[in-house]
Amino acid sequence: MKKFIKFFMKNRILVAILLLLALSSWSTVALASANAVVVQSDSVNVRVGPGLAYANMGQVKKGDKLAILAEKNKWYQVRLSGDKIGWIASWLIDNTDVSSATNKVGIVKVPNTTVFKNADASSNVLGTIEQSQKVTIMYQEQDWTQILYNGTAGWVKSNFIQGTQETSGSSNSSDTTSDDDIKKVTVTQPNTKLRIEPDQSGRVVKTVKVGKQFDYLSKDGKWYKVRDSDGSVGYVASWVVTISGTKSAVKSASTNISEATIVLDPGHGGDDSGAESNKSTYEKNFTLAYAKAIKQQLEQTGARVVMTRSGDNSKSLGDRARLSSKIQADAFISLHFDSSAQADAGSGVTTYYYNKNKDGELADDLNSQLKGLSIGSRGTAQKDLYVLHYNSQPSVLIELGYINSKADYKYINSNTYKEQIAKDVTNGLKEYFK
């Protein structure tokens, strides 16, 4: 050891140069192959934290390249030019080329290598990786390497990983899809899971290898619904695949609403039918149809819309309010239809809030749009309703007319009224997020 130290002291410049060379050749490769996305919207705001509520620190523009460092609540933490770090709404850069196909593969050199949440040994431990296992490298700093771990980003000590010449993507030679009706989703990460639901806790249908292709069916948040050649259908995470022929419209994303996460809560569902009309139709079906119409119009602004239910299933009031808190919704809107004790005794649209400070402005902005409807407005009112009371986020409950009133029902049961509601709610939210 002494000898080594002596050698080191004598030749420290040489050692330093060798060390630097080793490090730099390694990290330039890794840097060049960081998990980059290219912005294709005209412009997207960059914020200091993962949400619309955080201050805007600038904008990225079409063609800008960003390295993804982490993901939280559907926001990407990105490294910008000049090594600044900020957050952008992931759904606004979805129509971009995620060049994961160029990610470098590393091999774990040390048994039970710890994966940390941040580039810091005192941060949370995400898990461990066995020796000799291959990992996808997303980014590298001198001491720390960011890898893809169970679908998210994790950090390991750089000297625990050996670089290889391999990349994790499939070869691009077959990527010549032209105008095929069916888009192909190609897996770029080892052990990719096809899940029954668009969620990391969804049951696994099957595990597939790099290069595996599926038919693209639809998109659900950051997940793709896909079909395998054997007919099985499931969801894969968009960050572990590349998609061919993505030509969805480029959104202009400079308005605030495009960065908003909005929860729509169609009242009732399943065993709970809600109020009944004079025609024996039920509130639960109308609330769902209206939520879907609103979702469609809202999404055209670029906003991310999450529904508390999208089918005829029951959902507790607690679950509805908790979803809003869990995903830090920027607005929560519960949809209902009123009914009076006796048929044809009530009429009107009411926007309820619970906490004036938290919900008042949202209620006012929506109500000012809903004033011009065919069904008259009863304005806003304070009421202690469960989904508002136990909701940490700005929230309102709108009664969209009396379902057991002949006069109101005529409108409630019409497409024109439904589309007008969708338009008014969208405009109200645009105003709210201004």
Residues that bind Zn ion (CB under 5 A): 267, 274, 336
Minimum CB distance to Zn ion smaller for 121 or for 345? 345
Distance (Å) of CA 111 to CA 94, 105, 120, 201, 298 = 37, 18, 19, 27, 50
Shortest distance, CB of residue 374 to Zn ion, whole angstroms?
Answer: 20
Q: Point out which residues pair with 208 in neighbouring strands.
A: 192
- Least Å distance, CB 274 to Zn ion, is 5
Name the residue nearer to Zn ion (CB basis): 274 or 302: 274
State in angstroms the smallest separation of the CB of 352 from Zn ion. Answer: 11
Nearest CB to Zn ion, comparing residues 309 and 336? 336
Burial class (CB in 10 A: 0-12, 13-18, 19+), 99: middle
Min separation Cβ 267 and Zn ion, Å: 4
- The enclosing H or E element of 13 equals helix 12-32
CB count within 10 Å of CB 32 equals 10
The least CB distance from residue 404 to Zn ion, in Å, is 12
Helix axis angle for 415-433 and 283-299, nearest 10°, is 50
Closer CB to Zn ion, 251 or 284, in the complex:
284
Give me the DSSP letters along 270-330: TTB---B-TTS-BHHHHHHHHHHHHHHHHHTTT-EEEES-SSS----HHHHHHHHHHTT-S
Residue 184's DSSP bridge partners are 215
CB of 410 to Zn ion, least distance (A): 19
Instruction: Name the residue whose CB lies closest to Zn ion.
Output: 336
**Cα–Cα distance, 393 to 328 (Å, whole number):** 7
Would you say 390 and 336 are in contact if contact means Cβ atoms under 8 Å apart? Answer: no
Tokens of 223: 């997940």
In the chain, what are the helix, strand and coil shares in percent, each to the nearest 5? 30, 35, 35
Residue 184 or 336: which CB sits closer to Zn ion? 336
* Closer residue to Zn ion, CB minimum distance, 267 or 394: 267
**Between residues 198 and 267, which has the closer beta carbon with respect to Zn ion?**
267
> Quick one: 290 exposed, middle or buried, by C-beta within 10 A (0-12, 13-18, 19+)?
buried
Name the minimum Å distance from CB 314 to Zn ion.
Answer: 13
